[in-house]
Structure 1
Amino acid sequence: MQARKSACAGPLDGIRVLDLTSVVLGPLATQSLADLGADVIKIEGPEGDLMRANGVSRNAGMSSIYLALNRNKRSVVLDLKTEAGAAALRQLITGADVFIHNMRVAAIERLGFGYDAVAALNPRIVYCVATGFGQDGPHRDKPAFDDIIQAACGLVSLGAAAGSRPEYVPSLIADKTTGIALANAVLAALLHRERHGEGQAVEVPMLETMASFVMAEHLAGLTFDPAAGPAGYARLLQGGRRPARTADGWICALPYTDRHWKAFFRAVDREDLAEKYNIASRAERNTHIRALYQHFGDITPDRTTAQWMALFEILDIPATPIYTPDELPSHPHLNAVGLFQSTVHPTEGPLREMRPTARFSATPLALRRHAPLLGEHTGEVLLEAGLAPCDIDAIAGTRNN
């Protein structure tokens, strides 16, 4: 498979990343770096990334989730339990800028690729590990998955606090949020190296990252010592904001300011409610916010979604129809900005892919490479690293046995 021809290099052009991550968290982080122009070399064992089998597939090993998380990368298969595979990785390390993995620390130490061993080969390397739990805490060796972290960080309990049973968020939010944090950490360490010439070890733990994420608004009374009240942002846990039913569906609308509320009640001939709740006063409005949104939800079934959208456009009230994932490719804004792009994968055929979302004026981003087949670039990358063809053949033979 050939790389897509593109003049768009991205701001990380020239940075080489050895990506030993798998599943979702790590591949999302390294795809972010790849989208920014880094040469990301995905190091896989002979069995491949587990996520190659999850999701919808046309062909084995090339699932929808794998395709969504591994564009702009090259795949190299190395069996790190063999001396030939380990030696090849050591050779790659000498020319890399970043080494990133999400294995348990004890496991990668057993393979001989802990930070000290890698830094001995390349002192300038940025060595980044995504862990489930920080390595200076008692849970450092525990396994971690998205569900576990959602529950441990307080996220799952928020639904119960609002009066429903605890539920997982139906998105891999812990993996993806931590993946973004992981990419940011790599970028910061690369900037430090650029300024000061030194590599370093970086750890991004899932639990700490997600606890900080959740508690940004929910620390509440626990912010103060002694506590001024319980944790939890009351507006989210007790407020009345929720999707509103219309005559033919659902809508999300947010009258927020006194101007919004006055305009809304005037438009529906209920100015008496504006007077009743004294909405000109923010304090009074906040006191009665649940009642206000209850009235809002009682009124919205009187018109269709399209009618409400037209009215809210006139009133400048933030609003949107509720879109399903199936509807997003036809979302008028996403369609206009070309988020979803039609491509042709050499083995998977026509695909719908999402382009990188950031916009750079001087170093624009692009879909440069299709998500690779397992081991597709093994020979190419190892030749670039200076391995002899006979050694590469030996590694390939080991992989195929």
Structure 2
Amino acid sequence: MGSRPRGPRGMSTMLEGIRVLDLSRVIAGPYCATMLGDLGADVIKVERPPVGDDLRVLRGKNGISASFGAINRNKRGIAVDLQRPEGVAIALELARRADVVVENFLPGVAAKLGVGYAAVSAINPAVVYVSVTGFGQDGPHSRRPGYNTIAQGMSGLMALTGHPGDPPTRVAGSTSDLSAAWVAFGSVCAALVHRFRTGKGQYLDVNLLASSLSLLPDPTAIFFDTGVRPQREGNRNPAIAPGGAYKTKDGYINIVIMNQDQWGRFCGALGEPALEKEPRFATNAERISRYDEFVAYVESRLATAATAEWIERFEAAQIAAGPVYEFHEVFEDPQVQHLGLVATFDQPGLGPVHALPFPTRASATPAAIRRPAPLLGQHTGEVLTELGYAEDQIERLAVEGTILLHPSP
């Protein structure tokens, strides 16, 4: 269905021939579908007329926003009212032809609309169907709406983030949404491998709470092992010293050492070789027990030079160290630029959009941004024609409000 996605210079793509129906909105579900699209899947995003995905209007204009463009690239888009029987029929026909269906309705809503797993698997037993919700399909919280900040608060991410004495702190960005997107993406790919081996599809239940908590395997293991409630530690690793952010002459530097040999090299690079045998700081345990004193000593030395100079010194000594950037500085880093960690494409209705491309560099089947995010209803006519709808049927559905058509840009 549709043209076969091709990668850079016509190279084949990793998920060439895989068809994805994206019934989701905002971030977690859509970004899962986008990553499948980055790897070459043919993704069709279904939105509700007349406004579409909520992310279109958040900090947006002309029905498009930079966030929507970045999170919904590599998709074709149709606008269909799933509250109408003929709209459901369109979605089901797309689902019948799909390899993957992604949705993030509250539990039970997709089934009520007629596009739940039972209905879809009845006509397409091999489908991989993933639901992304706040708390899962069952249990005492399953009916609650869930968003990034709520999941961060309930998973412990906020409890562990912040400085001692400060309140729980939200982790920047849509961390919980994106953790769920990555979990859903990986689960879908694994389920597709299973299907290729067995011919059987399956249902995948992904939620923000579990995905967020999955980012904390070591604090969880330590808590249950010791019974000690973890505290907010700020910018340090409580198990090692140095292991965190330290102030320099012009900013901050992260330094991590893992063993005694590295400690000796660190002291040499700091210009304090005698520090290696200083009884107060000679072992990791001593440094941790006197951490405030240790930090004061180290920062008094780091204050004599700029971060960049210390990076050079520690790199020469093979000590792991890196600058603590302000966000705008991230994109000026030569390694970030070398890796091509920001891609720019022209987004119709908005202009240039800067997006984070797929982070893995594959040798044979590289990911690529092949098309911008769709305008609302941009491909409705095209997709319905592929499904076998005649022009007069498409026009009737548009007049009745079941679908929304948008001229190609």
Give TM-score, length-normalised by structure 2. Answer: 0.88
The structural deviation recorded for 1:281 is 5.1
For 1:263-282, what aligned pairs fall within 5 Å after superposition?
Answer: 263-277=265-279
Question: 1:354 is aligned with what amino acid?
Answer: L
Partners of 1:39 and 1:83 in 2: CA distance: 25
1:125 and 1:285, CA in 2 relative to 1: closer, same or farther beyond 3 A? same
Query: Which of 323, 335, 338 lines up with 1:336 in the alignment?
Result: 338
1:366 aligns with 2:364: no
The structural deviation recorded for 1:231 is 4.4
1:51 aligns with 2:55: yes
The structural deviation recorded for 1:34 is 0.7
- Aligned equivalent of 1:28: 31
Which secondary structure state, in structure 2, belongs to the residue aligned with residue 219 of structure 1? helix
The answer on whether the counterparts of 2:20 and 2:44 sit within 8 Å (CA) in structure 1 is yes
Partners of 1:251 and 1:342 in 2: CA distance: 30
The answer on whether the counterparts of 1:218 and 1:231 sit within 8 Å (CA) in structure 2 is no
- Aligned equivalent of 1:236: 237
- Aligned equivalent of 1:257: 259
For 1:56-71, what aligned pairs fall within 5 Å after superposition?
Answer: 57=60, 59-71=61-73
Q: Could you tell which deviates more after superposition, 282-291 or 356-365?
A: 282-291
The answer on whether the counterparts of 1:126 and 1:189 sit within 8 Å (CA) in structure 2 is yes
1:153 aligns with 2:151: no
| Larger helix percent | 1
The answer on whether the counterparts of 2:100 and 2:129 sit within 8 Å (CA) in structure 1 is yes
- Aligned equivalent of 2:177: 175
1:209 and 1:50, CA in 2 relative to 1: closer, same or farther beyond 3 A? same
**Structure 2: gaps (5+ residues):** none
The answer on whether the counterparts of 1:277 and 1:288 sit within 8 Å (CA) in structure 2 is no
1:249 and 1:160, CA in 2 relative to 1: closer, same or farther beyond 3 A? closer
The answer on whether the counterparts of 1:15 and 1:39 sit within 8 Å (CA) in structure 2 is yes
The answer on whether the counterparts of 1:379 and 1:392 sit within 8 Å (CA) in structure 2 is yes
Partners of 1:4 and 1:66 in 2: CA distance: 23
The structural deviation recorded for 1:207 is 1.2
Which secondary structure state, in structure 2, belongs to the residue aligned with residue 306 of structure 1? helix
Partners of 2:351 and 2:360 in 1: CA distance: 26
Which secondary structure state, in structure 1, belongs to the residue aligned with residue 319 of structure 2? coil
The answer on whether the counterparts of 1:20 and 1:102 sit within 8 Å (CA) in structure 2 is yes
Which secondary structure state, in structure 2, belongs to the residue aligned with residue 236 of structure 1? coil
Partners of 2:147 and 2:71 in 1: CA distance: 17
The answer on whether the counterparts of 1:220 and 1:231 sit within 8 Å (CA) in structure 2 is no
The structural deviation recorded for 1:286 is 5.5
Question: 1:230 is aligned with what amino acid?
Answer: V
Query: Which of 207, 210, 222 lines up with 1:208 in the alignment?
Result: 210
Instruction: Provide the alpha-carbon RMSD of the alignment.
Output: 2.6
Partners of 1:296 and 1:138 in 2: CA distance: 50
Q: Identity percentage over the alignment? A: 36
- Aligned equivalent of 1:15: 18
- Aligned equivalent of 2:124: 122
Q: Could you tell which deviates more after superposition, 97-106 or 160-169?
A: 160-169
Partners of 2:182 and 2:279 in 1: CA distance: 42
Query: Which of 383, 386, 404 lines up with 1:384 in the alignment?
Result: 386
Question: 1:388 is aligned with what amino acid?
Answer: A
Question: 2:43 is aligned with what amino acid?
Answer: V
1:357 and 1:185, CA in 2 relative to 1: closer, same or farther beyond 3 A? same
The structural deviation recorded for 1:108 is 1.6
Which secondary structure state, in structure 2, belongs to the residue aligned with residue 127 of structure 1? strand
The answer on whether the counterparts of 1:344 and 1:351 sit within 8 Å (CA) in structure 2 is yes
Question: 2:18 is aligned with what amino acid?
Answer: I
The structural deviation recorded for 1:356 is 2.1
Per-residue deviation, residues 164-185 of structure 1 (Å, max 9, x unmatched): 2111112211111111001111
- Aligned equivalent of 1:218: 219
Q: Could you tell which deviates more after superposition, 373-382 or 305-314?
A: 305-314
The answer on whether the counterparts of 1:162 and 1:238 sit within 8 Å (CA) in structure 2 is no
Question: 1:303 is aligned with what amino acid?
Answer: A
Give TM-score, length-normalised by structure 1. Answer: 0.90
Deviant stretches of 4+, over 6 Å: 2-5
Per-residue deviation, residues 376-397 of structure 1 (Å, max 9, x unmatched): 1111112112222222222323
1:263 and 1:222, CA in 2 relative to 1: closer, same or farther beyond 3 A? closer
- Aligned equivalent of 1:302: 304
Question: 1:349 is aligned with what amino acid?
Answer: G
Which secondary structure state, in structure 2, belongs to the residue aligned with residue 183 of structure 1? helix
Partners of 1:161 and 1:309 in 2: CA distance: 25
The answer on whether the counterparts of 2:62 and 2:350 sit within 8 Å (CA) in structure 1 is no
Partners of 1:134 and 1:349 in 2: CA distance: 37
Which secondary structure state, in structure 2, belongs to the residue aligned with residue 159 of structure 1? coil
